[in-house]
Each structure stands twice: as structure tokens, then as C-alpha cells.
Amino acid sequence: MLPHRRCIDQGMLMDLRQLEAFAAVMSAGSVTAAGKMLGRSQPSVTRAIQELEQELGFALFERSGPKVTPTHKAFMMYGEVESALLGVRNIRQRAQHIAQEENHQIKLVAISALAAGLLPAALSRLPEHLRPQQIQLQSMSPENVVQAVLSKTMDLGAVSLPLEHRGLEIHWIGEG
């Protein structure tokens, strides 16, 4: 099994949990508050910080009993760590968006002549990996096709040309 939560760079292993713990202590001001913020125990946050310090080769916090004070080096690291964690959050959000797109339904509207013959035939020729899982196809008058697309109740409309409307981007796709 691959270590999916570790970043490898020049022989140094940095666990994302360590970086999250460091950022949480910096923003919360204490290890206990950071643990609450992360939903982890105080000892697990302390352990993550100690492991990170060992891997970095320098102390991030000065300890005085239960109190921790960030070192100068901690402040130097904090911006980079926040940027890295933001990048990870962006990756997670993008992955969720991609996963949702897989189940996406596309809503098409067309004049009856296109909805009855040309569009179903064209859609059936799409490669499987490009074909949406669900396709809703409705037939309407040209005016209603325009209104459905403008109101965003439908994703895409197909009509015969000529058609002019400043609120629409019109693409000629062929002639039958």
C-alpha cells in the first residue's frame, strides 16, 4: 500500500497531519485548542509537532510547561505551510467537483424536427467516456428553446438557423 498521506521531497517525509497540526497550533495559540479545532487529542497534536520538528531539524515552538511559543523559524514556515494546505484543500474540492460531474445530467432542448431524429442519433455516436450518464431531451418551439436556455432551465438548445439573440452564443454545427 502506498503512503498516500505523505509528501516526499529530497528524502524528507512530511505528513499532512503534521502540517495541519502545526498550522492549527499557530492559529489557535495552544496545543489543546489546536486539538479541539482538528478533532484530535492534545497528545496526538503534540506528537505530530514533535515528529515534524525532528524531520525539519529545528524547533518550531519554545515550550514552557503547557505553554508553547512559536519560534522565529515557525513564523518563517507558517506562510508556506498555509499555502500548501490551501493547495491540498483546492485539490480536495476539485476532486469532489470532478466526482459530481461524473453523475451529471445534461438537459437538452430542441425544435421537434431535431429532437425527434438528429439529436438522438448524434448523441448515440458520442464516445462512451464523453456521454453524460443521464440526458434529458425536450422538444419546444424555437422561441421556447431560446427562453429555456436563457433562463438556464436547460443546458443546451438546438434550433435551425437563422437565429439572432444577443444573450446567446450561437454555433453552427452542420446541415441536414
> Within 13 Å and on the Cβ side, how many CA atoms surround 72?
0
Can you list the alpha helix ranges (DSSP code H) found in the chain? 16-28, 31-38, 42-56, 72-102, 112-113, 119-124, 142-150
SS3 26: helix
Q: Are 19 and 76 within one domain?
A: yes
Q: Are 56 and 108 within one domain?
A: no
Is the model's pTM score more than 0.75?
A: no
The reply to whether 163 falls in a domain is no
Distance CA 21, CA 154 (A): 46
Q: Are 11 and 88 within one domain?
A: yes
The reply to whether 73 falls in a domain is yes
* Amino acid symbol at 17: R
The reply to whether 171 falls in a domain is no
At 176, is the pLDDT very low, low, confident or very high (cuts 50, 70, 90)? low
pLDDT in tens, 8-52: 455 557 789 999 999 999 999 999 999 999 999 999 999 999 999
pLDDT in tens, 99-145: 776 556 788 888 888 888 888 888 888 888 777 777 888 888 888 88
Q: What is the pLDDT of residue 73?
A: 96
Which residues are paired to 61 by β-bridges? 70
Contacts with 147 (C-beta within 8 Å, 6 or more apart), sequence order = none
Q: Are 15 and 36 within one domain?
A: yes
Q: In terms of Cα–Cα distance, which of 84, 99, 139, 150 is closest to 117?
A: 139
State the pairing for strand pair 12-15/6-9.
antiparallel
Range of the domain at 74: 6-101
The domain boundary residue, chosen from 101, 122, 144: 101
Q: How far is CA 8 from CA 2, 13, 25, 131, in A?
A: 12, 5, 23, 38
For the chain, the first-to-last Cα distance in angstroms comes to 55
Distance CA 158, CA 168 (A): 12
Q: Are 45 and 60 within one domain?
A: yes
How many domains does the chain divide into?
2
The reply to whether 1 falls in a domain is no
Q: Are 65 and 108 within one domain?
A: no
Q: Are 83 and 114 within one domain?
A: no
The DSSP code sequence of 113-155 is HIIIIIHHHHHHTS-GGGS-SEEEEEE--HHHHHHHHHTTSSS
